Structure 1
Amino acid sequence: MKFKHHILWVSLALASSSCEKFLDVQPKEFISDAATIVDRSSAETAVRGVYSALADGSYYGTSFQSIGYLSGDNIVWTGSQSQVQEFINKKVNADNSTISSAWISIYRTINRANNVIDKVPAVKDAQLTDALRNQYIGEAYFARALAYFDLARTWGGVPLITKPTINPTDNSGIKRSSVAETYAQVLKDLETAEPLLPATTDRYRATRKTVWALRARYHLYQKEWVKAEEYADKVISDATNYKLTKPFSAFFANDARGTTESIFEIFYNGTTEVNSHRGQWQPQTNGGTRQWAPNDALVALLNNPAVGGTRSALVAKDNQNRWYGNLYYRNPASDPSYVLRIAEIILIRAEARAQQDKLTLGLADLNLIRDRAGIAASTAATKNDLLLAIENERRVEFALEPHRWYDIVRTGRAPAVFSLSEANRYVLPIPVQQLLSDKALEQNPGY
């Protein structure tokens, strides 16, 4: 079966009403999409399949996330696979298996979303109310927006597939859109999703508030500071449902999930749906491989009481006195994947305000994050100082989350921070398998 957008399967799962059991599915089985979406039950199954694709080990389960932090300057690779070292060296080749699996998984997510968007509107079932129908379609638009956002910030412009793939050749021959066109699709999908989704709080499924959070991130990447501040403020102002947890580790330690820190996290039950992240981070004594680990610079930052504060909980030592990352630790592997946290939205607003010369307000937002970490308030007095302080804060706040590489690239700081002046390397190569399977695709320059 050809890859990219040539995937036409939707996973089956049992229906459930609660948020946590929404992804508490049976072992994956697969049937042709042509037989799936015919009533309320199958529509919900199809939506569950979208979330299952987001949770896949090649997407937010492990592979895609690893691109964001392995490519930064916080992590070292302790294994022997040269393909992982390519990210740390910032010289990724087109035959890298991680980028291939991530690309395939993201397009699988898009195809599942496309199936919901295309078929749910026509379903005739009295149990599928208008509100529920709109919710399902809105969730699919949100997932597709997130998927194209991740494609755009990783590879630049990509083929825009907005109809289901039924046959392997359905969408072959579609050339790459520009990066601007790809981001425009993200915004269009978010704008479509927002009025369809309920104005509720749900940390495992997309709602209108989840759209606001992703829009804040989207506008930050587009350097649309006013809009970034506006949408960040929409989320932050809901202080009843979204607020920083104290201490820092409260959102993940002691098997916590779904705290007020979380805007959107992906649920894993540890049996039929597992988050393989913990195996990469945990040491052998905890049943892991510790194949990637915090580097000396990050350990020093996190353990500095004036910089890391309570964020030192992100690292620990094994029985050989080696540091390891401790964000993903649960056994069985049921750690959530944190896609959107309120801490990120606060720092988005801080950055957007600083860019608009609202220095007092931006500093206040930054200091909310620092206060939660138990460290002294920043005294950054100039715009440049404040922006640098926010950049440094994001490095430790999201030390084991997939932000660092994208942050430094989007701000134009890669030459200074990573000593990476070769601009072609700011996006990854299109996987070679995709180029071979579809001659309409063109490789990124320099690869």
Structure 2
Amino acid sequence: MRNYIIYIFLLLSVTACNDKLTLSPAVSLPTEDALTDIAGVNAGISGMYAGMRSVNYYGRNFLVIPEIAADNVYLAAANSNRFGSSFRVTWLTSDGDITSLWNQTYAVILRANNIINSIPTLTDGTDEEKNNALGQALFIRALIHFDLLRTFSQPYAIGGGSALGIPVMTKFAVGSPARNTVDEVYTQIINDLTQAKSLLAKDGSNPYNANAYAASALLARVYLYKGDNENAVTEASAVISSAEYAIVPANDLPDFYNTTGTSEDIFTLMVLSTESLGSDDVGRIYLKPGYGDIRVSPDLVKVFDTADARYKSYILPFDGDSTEYENDKFTGQDGIFGLYSPKILRISEQYLIRAEANAKLGNYTAALDDVNAIRAKRTIPNLVNIPDADVLANVLLERRKELMFEGHRYFDLLRNKQDIVREFCGDPLELNTPACTYPATQPTVIPPIPQREIDVNKNIAQNPGY
């Protein structure tokens, strides 16, 4: 029987010959003509990015689930019946959000693979155009495999390289692929990004398409997750030393997430005002008059110095009620309430990656220097006289504050073997949960492989505990 991944590919991307391959809201070409020339490939790139903007991926859910499953936010007791299983960390194998994430990501991987595998057969296009297209597709293929790996597999620090990863897909093939090991998936990701870096231009002027610096920035993140701290430092340093990017000052923070193309942006998934998801725009899940289901946790509020520009800009009383707090990062772009173009890679994270990697390598002064480079732009004093044993904890705390609500917290806890601990647990304002602490080593802290995939692919193993 056909693998469910392949079924999704067929359904969404290579339908019958008289159908059309949807490449972007404004571009649609017959499948037999789509990727035979450079114009078709460029349209395919638009379609690849469009697929990433889905509400099931970076359009909303992949920014929300890693926050709601951790400790930065909570789901209000009165809510619109969204993200309950993620907040409770009790996913069923039929969970809609998890299944949709799996389906959407593999569908976009196919779009990337179609581009990658068509480049050698193009009838036109310059070498520069072909290299750019190939580099962008390799970058996206690597990013999506990485996102799938960190969602559906144990972190490297817990399961090691021999643990079950996810199926690596580099071409269209009908079959029943088994899960690759975590090491095998990392090898594919790193190879793709290394090749992408060699193909793409070193030009940071356009953050809406992948460039060589974006490939280095993602490599830095990948190496950090893998525990390869030396290479994480190397790649992050390459981006920082390029001088193409700069940490935005405190007075730019209030509108930073509503503004595209800032000095911080390395890779941004551009969402035009005409591409708004309406009620599903990410800001609306946090704010009224949207759903307003998700509130900032007291645990996060209390780690801030109230003089911190991030606190003053992004943590405000919820809907004017001082008993709860709201996330004001995504209030709206282009005058559209809740609209957001995800800043998937930005320069502040590169400083934090280098700081964390250096702290783990014992380079404590260098680690604190990078943290203080961020703090200087956030109106809070430098960290000084920090004992070596406390440097890593301070780096991770700074990372929590800088990257809050951006889809990192759950992954950051687990890859550092830190339990999810909710001190706010039991508050009547939040949806009740079966536990207040979720150990990082608990098998079911990792979501299940969707049951529909298991049903049609007997070669794919389910995660433990399901």
Give the Cα separation in 2 of the matches to 1:119 and 1:251.
43
Q: 1:262 aligns with which of 261, 265, 284?
A: 265
Rounded Cα–Cα distance in structure 2 between residues aligned with 1:206 and 1:64? 19
CA pair 180-91 structure 1, distance change in 2 beyond 3 A: same
What residue is the counterpart of 2:412 in the other structure?
407
Change (3 A) 1:366 1:342: same
Map 1:337-416 to 2 at 5 A.
337-379=342-384, 381-414=386-419
Change (3 A) 1:432 1:425: same
Cα deviation code 1:124-143 (max 9, x no counterpart): 12xx1110011001100000
Contact 2:3 2:456 in 1 (8 A): yes
CA gap of 1:199–1:113, structure 2 versus 1, over 3 A, is same
Which residue does 1:217 correspond to in 2?
A: 221
Aligned to 1:152: 149
Taking the TM superposition and a 5 Å limit, the aligned residue runs for 1:227-306 are 227-239=231-243, 241-247=244-250, 249-250=252-253, 252-253=255-256, 255-274=258-277, 276-284=281-289, 288-302=290-304, 304-305=305-306
Matches within 5 A, 1:111-260: 111-125=110-124, 128-156=125-153, 157-164=165-172, 170-201=173-204, 202-239=206-243, 241-247=244-250, 249-250=252-253, 252-253=255-256, 255-260=258-263
Q: 1:254 and 1:144 mapped to 2: Cα distance?
A: 25
Answer yes or no: is 1:56 the counterpart of 2:54. Answer: yes
> Aligned pair in 2 of structure 1 residues 257, 374: CA closer, same or farther (>3 Å)?
same
How far, CA to CA, are the matches of 1:339 and 1:92 in structure 2? 26
SS in structure 2 opposite 1:12? strand
TM-score normalised according to structure 1 size:
0.88
Moved more, 223-232 or 63-72: 63-72
**Does 1:446 find its partner at 2:454?**
no
323, 329, 335: which is aligned to 2:331? 329
Q: Which of 35, 38, 44 is equivalent to 1:37? A: 35
- The amino acid across from 2:369 in the alignment is A
Hey, what's the Cα distance between the residues in 2 that align with 1:377 and 1:266? 32
Question: Do the aligned residues in 1 keep the contact of 2:72 with 2:297 (CA within 8 Å)?
Answer: yes
The answer to whether the Cα contact below 8 Å between 1:141 and 1:190 also exists between their aligned partners in 2 is yes
* Amino acid corresponding to residue 47 of structure 2 in structure 1: G
Q: Deviations over 1:293-314 (max 9, x none)?
A: 2122223334x326x4444311
The answer to whether the Cα contact below 8 Å between 1:70 and 1:88 also exists between their aligned partners in 2 is yes
Displacement of 1:251: 7.8
Residue 450 of structure 2 aligns with which residue? 431
Q: CA deviation at 1:262?
A: 1.0
Give structure 2 stretches of 5+ with no counterpart: 14-20, 154-164, 423-435
What displacement does 1:415 show? Answer: 6.5
Q: Which amino acid aligns with 1:440?
A: N
RMSD: 2.3
1:36–1:43 CA contact under 8 A, matched in 2: yes
- 1:167 corresponds to: none
Q: Is this contact kept in 2: 1:250–1:256, CA < 8 A? A: no
Deviations 1:206-261 (A, max 9, x none): 0111000001101111111111100000001122x211001175384484211011
Task: Say whether the 8 Å CA contact 2:267–2:343 is kept in structure 1.
Answer: yes
Q: Unaligned 5+ residue runs, structure 1?
A: 14-24, 165-169
Structure 2 CA distance, aligned partners of 1:181 and 1:315? 41
What TM-score do you get using the length of structure 2 for normalisation? 0.85
C-alpha separation between the residues in 1 aligned to 2:179 and 2:50? 26
The residue number in structure 2 matching 1:68 is 66
Deviation at 1:80, TM superposition (A): 4.3
CA distance in 2, matches of 1:93, 1:77: 18
Shift in CA distance, 33/178, structure 1 to aligned 2, threshold 3 Å: farther
